[in-house]
């Protein structure tokens, strides 16, 4: 072949902060190591490799020999190492200070570990926003990679994309390489000859010496379902590297830096906010997501998807923070702490060799995976959310420990719009306990943290509709690709989920929400199915509030005038007040209720308060529940208790017990586990998210009369 082109093979390998040890080890065994070992046998083949900070740290601690092989490949010019945000954050949604810090920290670590000077960055999930060049250039980086879809959205011609383009923001310039979507679906999922046909077509169409880029997940080479057998045991990767080596006279492999140094920019570009096509669909609300995927399938079936794909963009990553309030809360907690930390560090240049531990922990809490959900479990995986909260709370503990004067006084009560929804949140905190309350969401507790173990017991996730639930309910289709060595973006679910199995929560599963029933749920299963329905309008409504502070105690008073809808009769007006108190040096949080009938009709109903708590795995014998009247029992199944005086959720694994004590025994208490149904790379996941406690009291209120109720929550150490 007369015309010669270049191929840049870039791989990004990542495991999130807090992932299980066996997942790291499995990835190393089936993907990360065999890829390097195979590459070592083909000295003509070059690659650009990126390993995220969490993975690099695990490899350094557990598989140090990996770096010997990697260093050998670097030394012979076969591998270029890419940098990025060290703990794999979504760069556009963290502050410039954190972006610059994470990018610079990773470059310093790679220089120290491998002796390389990093020139380019892997952009997490290829999420681009136009202001990024400033931070990238300030960190000394020269290039990033994004999908060709980004360029198509800017009006470029797919057939003419090659090499790299320059963009800028406020005169900070960065080079951008377009990643071929066609190659993403070909490699390593199709026969090698099909991949080579693609390169032949590109060689015929592009100017001589042009570079074509694949930059994609390293886990596709052995860790995705079915790929280890396909890529290694059936020899796909060896066949591919053999083909590249045998055709080097017209298809030369190169690194990003080699292309950057040997070819001028193909042009200037200003890219819109974008990620890859699938991401745009995942960020949409479920109804819009269903329409998006239906349109995608229709255009694909009639052969016109290629013409319209640039205009079929869906939404963008930040809307996960709307779709999932739990994600938004984690994000805003982190951004608020980041602002306080950087204000404290103002004028002090970070020492990337001896980093402040509270800053490093903050960066760990910015690891992207548990903030969103698409094909992978992500936000739906409790152990990943736990890891983020744990690092965030540890960072905050260290930061607060540095404070002096009035800011260090405990207990404390703060009020500000932390989650930026236009309504203030309230925090009550002492040396042992921290809780955030949302007056605009039923006066509920959105975060309940044991500061000693840096564990957020209210780290839960609501059951909500997802666009793919309709596909699960429809069941497998004949003649459609299933999971194998095919890409997981184009596969069907192997089983059918009955539509009746899906229960959706009307609001996030916070704690301390108030409900009213004519009769309480008869079984844990009926309570989990939200039956009978709540007759009150208090659970997720706006409460007025006021704070009281003293040296010994802080308290929050909340109140709302609402109503209870009585079946077959007009609604009864009710005034509900609750006072939350936290004393200095105390494990206890006291909640006092006052219910006044402000109607002309009497009210007879069951008053209930819901608590949603996580234990990270209800089958573990280290966790469970018990009452003063009963012995320990598993949280894996539900329970119905009559006249309990309290209940304890014990968690010896995390080292904290949550106890509820009732001043007046509850008439009934229902405990039930909350499971979500979501998709993952392996198919359908049924995931434990929380255990709900629902104590109920029978109340009869005549016009003008008042009912009272008091309970005490406590967080105490638990021994393993």
Predicted local confidence at residue 482, as pLDDT: 44
Residue tagged active-site, from 168, 169, 217, 540 = 217
- Length of the chain in residues, anyone? 720
Give the other-Cβ count within 10 Å of 1's Cβ: 12
Q: How many CA atoms lie within 13 A of 12 on its CB side?
A: 24
pLDDT digits (tens, 9 = 90+) for 676-692: 999 988 789 999 999 99
Q: What is the mean pLDDT of residues 171-199?
A: 97
Nearest-CA neighbor of 159 among 266, 68, 55? 266
Calculate the average pLDDT of the chain: 94
| Biggest CA pair distance of the chain | 94
This prediction's pTM: 0.94
Distance in angstroms (rounded) separating the CA atoms of residues 560 and 245: 73
CA angle 265, 269, 275 (to 5 degrees): 115
Please state the rounded mean pLDDT for residues 165-174: 97
Residue 22 to residues 25, 62, 490, Cα–Cα distance (Å): 5, 12, 27
Give me the percent of the chain exceeding a pLDDT of 90.
Answer: 87
Q: Where is 590: in which H helix or E strand?
A: strand 588-597
Asked whether 121 and 103 are in contact (CB, 8 A), the reply is: yes
- Estimate to the nearest angstrom the gap between the alpha carbon of 709 and the chain centroid: 38
Distance CA 530, CA 695 (A): 15
Read off the tokens for 110.
């790679």
What the chain holds in terms of domains, given with CATH numbers, is 5-275 (3.20.110.20), 276-315 (no CATH), 320-408 (no CATH), 502-717 (2.70.98.10)
* 244 compared with 352, residue with greater pLDDT: 244
Residue in this structure with the two tokens 């690659």, named with its chain if needed:
47
β-pair partners for 626: 648
- Backbone angles phi and psi of 643, in degrees to 5: 55, 45
**First vs last C-alpha separation in the chain:** 69
Helices (H), 83-191: 96-114, 132-138, 148-153, 181-186
Q: Using the predicted structure, report yes or no on whether residue 220 has a pLDDT greater than 60.
A: yes
pLDDT number for residue 483: 41
Q: What is the pLDDT of residues 40-90, one digit of tens each?
A: 999 999 999 999 999 999 999 999 999 999 999 999 999 999 999 999 999
Phi, psi of 412 (to 5 degrees): -135, 155
The tokens of 610 are what? 């819901």
- C-alpha pair distances (Å), 484 with each of 194, 231, 238, 494, 591: 18, 12, 19, 12, 54
Question: Cα–Cα distance between 386 and 7 in angstroms, integer?
Answer: 40
Cα atoms in the 13 Å half-sphere on the side-chain side of 571: 13
Q: What confidence tens digit (pLDDT) does each residue in 380-408 have?
A: 999 999 999 999 999 999 999 987 766 67
307 catalytic per annotation = no
Residue 484, pLDDT > 70, answer no
Residue 485 in this model has a pLDDT that exceeds 70: no
Residue 512 — very low, low, confident or very high, per pLDDT cuts 50/70/90? very high
DSSP string, 484-514: SSS-TTS---SS---GGG----SS---B-EE
Based on its alpha-carbon atoms, the radius of gyration of the chain, rounded to whole angstroms, reads 28
Residue 624 has pLDDT above 90, yes or no: yes
What does DSSP assign to residue 163? S
Give the three-class secondary structure for 33. Answer: helix
Euclidean distance between CA atoms 666 and 459, whole angstroms: 26
Choose the catalytic residue: 88, 98, 125, 129. Answer: 125
How much is the average pLDDT of 683-708?
96
Cβ contacts of residue 227 below 8 Å, gap of 6+? 188, 220, 221, 485
pLDDT digits (tens, 9 = 90+) for 115-130: 999 999 999 999 999 9
Taking CA atoms, 6 is separated from 213, 704, 716, in Å, by 9, 83, 62
- Tens of pLDDT, residue by residue over 256-304, are 999 999 999 999 999 999 998 889 999 999 999 999 989 988 998 998 8
Q: How far is CA 428 from CA 52, 193, 458, 501, 655, in A?
A: 36, 64, 15, 38, 22
For 40, the token pair is: 């070592």
Q: How far apart are CA 22 and CA 24, in angstroms?
A: 5
Q: What is the pLDDT of residues 445-482, one digit of tens each?
A: 999 999 999 999 999 999 999 999 998 998 887 655 44
CA distances in angstroms from 360 to 87, 357, 480, 514, 576, listed in the order given: 9, 5, 46, 39, 44
Categorize the per-residue pLDDT at 547 as very low, low, confident or very high, splitting at 50, 70 and 90.
Answer: very high
Supply the DSSP string of 10-24, one letter for each residue: EEEE---TT--HHHH
- Please classify residue 583 by burial: count the beta carbons closer than 10 Å to its beta carbon, then call 0-12 exposed, 13-18 middle and 19+ buried: middle
Whether residue 144 has pLDDT greater than 70:
yes
Mapping DSSP onto H, E and C, the string for 173-205 reads: EEEEEEECHHHHHHCCCCCHHHHHHHHHHHHHH
- Residues 6+ away with beta carbon under 8 Å from 226: 483, 484, 485, 486
Known catalytic residue at 168: no
> Checking DSSP bridges between strand 513-517 and strand 544-549, what pairing results, if any?
unpaired
Which two tokens mark 56? 């690099």
Secondary structure letter of residue 274 according to DSSP = B
* Range name among 313-317, 381-385, 439-443 with the lowest pLDDT average: 313-317
86 vs 418: CA distance, rounded Å: 26
Please tell me the predicted confidence (pLDDT) of residue 694: 98
């Amino acid at each position: 072949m007369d015309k010669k082109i270049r191929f840049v093979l870039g791989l990004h390998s990542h495991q999130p902060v807090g992932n299980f040890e066996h997942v790291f080890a499995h990835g190393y065994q089936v993907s990360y190591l065999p890829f390097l070992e195979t590459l070592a046998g083909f000295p003509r083949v070059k690659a650009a490799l990126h390993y995220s900070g969490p993975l690099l740290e695990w490899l350094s601690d557990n598989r140090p020999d990996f770096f010997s092989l990697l260093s050998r490949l670097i030394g012979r010019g076969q591998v270029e190492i890419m940098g990025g945000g060290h703990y794999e954050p979504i760069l556009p949604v963290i502050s410039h200070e954190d972006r610059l810090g994470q990018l610079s920290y990773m470059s310093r670590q790679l220089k120290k570990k491998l002796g390389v000077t990093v020139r380019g960055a892997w952009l997490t999930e290829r999420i681009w926003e136009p202001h990024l060049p400033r931070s990238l250039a300030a960190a000394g980086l020269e290039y990033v990679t994004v999908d060709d879809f980004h360029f198509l959205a800017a009006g470029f011609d797919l057939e003419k994309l090659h090499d790299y383009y320059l963009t800028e923001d406020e005169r900070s310039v960065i080079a951008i390489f377009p990643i071929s979507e066609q190659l993403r679906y070909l490699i390593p999922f199709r026969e090698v000859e099909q991949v080579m046909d693609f390169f032949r077509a590109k060689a015929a169409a592009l100017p001589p010496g042009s570079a074509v880029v694949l930059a994609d997940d390293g886990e596709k080479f052995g860790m995705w379902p079915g790929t280890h057998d396909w890529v290694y045991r059936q020899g796909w990767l060896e066949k591919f590297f053999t083909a590249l080596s045998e055709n080097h006279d017209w298809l030369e492999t190169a690194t990003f830096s080699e292309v950057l140094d040997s070819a001028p920019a193909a042009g200037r570009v200003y890219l819109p906010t974008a990620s890859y096509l699938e991401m745009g669909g995942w960020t949409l609300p479920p109804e819009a997501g269903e329409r998006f995927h239906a349109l995608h399938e229709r255009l694909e079936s009639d052969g016109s998807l290629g013409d319209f794909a640039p205009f079929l963009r869906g939404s963008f990553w930040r809307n996960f923070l709307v779709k999932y309030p739990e994600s938004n809360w984690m994000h805003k907690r982190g951004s608020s702490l980041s602002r306080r930390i950087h204000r404290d560090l103002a004028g002090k240049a970070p020492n990337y060799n001896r980093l402040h531990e509270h800053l490093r922990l903050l960066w760990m809490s910015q690891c992207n995976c548990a903030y969103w959900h698409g094909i992978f479990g992500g936000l739906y995986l409790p152990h990943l959310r736990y890891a983020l909260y744990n690092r965030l709370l540890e960072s905050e503990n260290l930061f607060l420990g540095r404070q002096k004067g009035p800011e260090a006084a405990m207990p404390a009560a703060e009020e500000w719009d932390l989650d930026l929804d236009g309504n203030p949140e309230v925090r009550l905190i002492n040396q042992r306990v921290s809780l955030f309350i949302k007056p605009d969401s039923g006066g509920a507790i959105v975060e309940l943290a044991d500061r000693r173990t840096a564990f957020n017991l209210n780290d839960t996730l609501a059951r909500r509709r997802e666009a793919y639930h309709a596909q699960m309910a429809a069941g497998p289709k004949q003649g459609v690709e299933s999971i194998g060595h095919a890409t997981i973006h184009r596969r069907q679910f192997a089983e059918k989920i009955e539509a009746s199995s899906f229960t959706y929560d009307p609001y996030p599963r916070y704690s301390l929400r108030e409900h009213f029933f004519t009769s309480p749920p008869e079984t844990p299963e009926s309570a989990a199915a939200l039956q009978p329905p709540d007759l009150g309008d208090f659970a997720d409504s706006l409460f007025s509030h006021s704070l009281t502070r003293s040296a010994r105690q802080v308290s929050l008073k909340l109140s709302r005038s609402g109503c209870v809808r009585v079946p077959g009769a007009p609604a009864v007006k009710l005034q509900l007040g609750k006072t939350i108190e936290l004393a200095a040096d105390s494990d206890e949080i006291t909640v006092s209720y006052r219910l006044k009938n402000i109607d002309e009709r009497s009210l007879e109903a069951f008053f209930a308060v819901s608590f949603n708590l996580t234990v990270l795995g209800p089958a573990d014998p280290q966790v469970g529940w018990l009452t003063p009247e009963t012995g320990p029992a598993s949280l894996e199944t539900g329970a119905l208790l009559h006249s309990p005086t309290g209940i304890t959720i014990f968690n010896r694994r995390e080292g904290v017990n949550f106890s509820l004590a009732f001043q007046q025994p509850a008439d009934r208490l229902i405990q039930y586990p909350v499971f979500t149904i979501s998709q993952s790379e392996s198919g359908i996941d049924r995931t434990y998210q929380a255990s709900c406690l629902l104590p109920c009291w029978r109340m009869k209120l005549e016009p003008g009369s008042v009912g009272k109720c008091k309970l005490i929550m406590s967080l105490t150490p638990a021994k393993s």
